[in-house]
Chain A
Amino acid sequence: GIQVEQSPPDLILQEGANSTLRCNFSDSVNNLQWFHQNPWGQLINLFYIPSGTKQNGRLSATTVATERYSLLYISSSQTTDSGVYFCAVSGNTGGFKTIFGAGTRLFVKA
């Protein structure tokens, strides 16, 4: 099945700094999503981005499907950005099965 790798596993930032999170996947996908898991465990949808580039406020994401990676950019980070960021994919041959990466744990210091 598809393998999903996220990097870095942990990230500590000073408030106001920028960061890039990466998601590599091992096979072609028909769906790629980025989620933020808040301290209460809720998974919040950030981007649905099987290809191309999207922006939402201080966050943006780019997926290069032909090279099998996606990037999540966080600019001017805030303490509320802390939490875990997950990348999740479903493949062209895996049907409805969704594979999650292990996540990037972000802590933003005030």
Chain B
Amino acid sequence: DGGITQSPKYLFRKEGQNVTLSCEQNLNHDAMYWYRQDPGQGLRLIYYSQIVNDFQKGDIAEGYSVSREKKESFPLTVTSAQKNPTAFYLCASTGQYSYNEQFFGPGTRLTVL
């Protein structure tokens, strides 16, 4: 089955530690995205990547970093510089055009203790 997988589903970390969230897709999509969702709020764009080895900052990129070494993978690192990292993180992907339909993974809930 084609789709987007995110792991782990739940993640707990101590304050000050970097943590990397995984996102993999087998839809052969070119573009991939990371969003953050806080309780009761909408989605905010962290980073997006249109092609391999290229990515752009979204609206709330500070304290986050990404890489896009393979078409299928777009990992997100939440660094210790992110002041409020506890949130629900969603990964998405679309085809090669900006007007293509976007599909989402199941999300990772990160809690920083």
Q: Whole-angstrom distance from the CB of B100 to the nearest CB of chain A?
A: 7
Let me know if B106 and A96 touch, CB within 8 A: no
- Say yes or no: is A73 at the interface (Cβ < 8 Å to chain B): no
Which of chain B's residues 70-113 have a Cβ closer than 8 Å to chain A? Answer: 88, 90, 92, 94, 98-104, 106-107, 109
How far is B107's CA from A43's CA once the two chains are assembled, in angstroms? Answer: 9
Q: Select B102's contact among A41, A94, A98, beta carbons within 8 Å.
A: A98
Known A-B contacts A96-B48, A101-B42; A41 and B98 likewise in contact (beta carbons under 8 Å): no
Whether A43 touches B90, Cβ cut-off 8 Å, given contacts A96-B31, A98-B33, A98-B102, is: yes
A contact residues vs B (CB 8 Å cutoff) = 30-31, 33, 35, 40-43, 45, 48, 50, 86, 88, 90, 94-103
State the B residues within 8 Å of A (CB).
31, 33, 35, 37, 41-45, 48, 50, 56, 58, 88, 90, 92, 94, 98-104, 106-107, 109
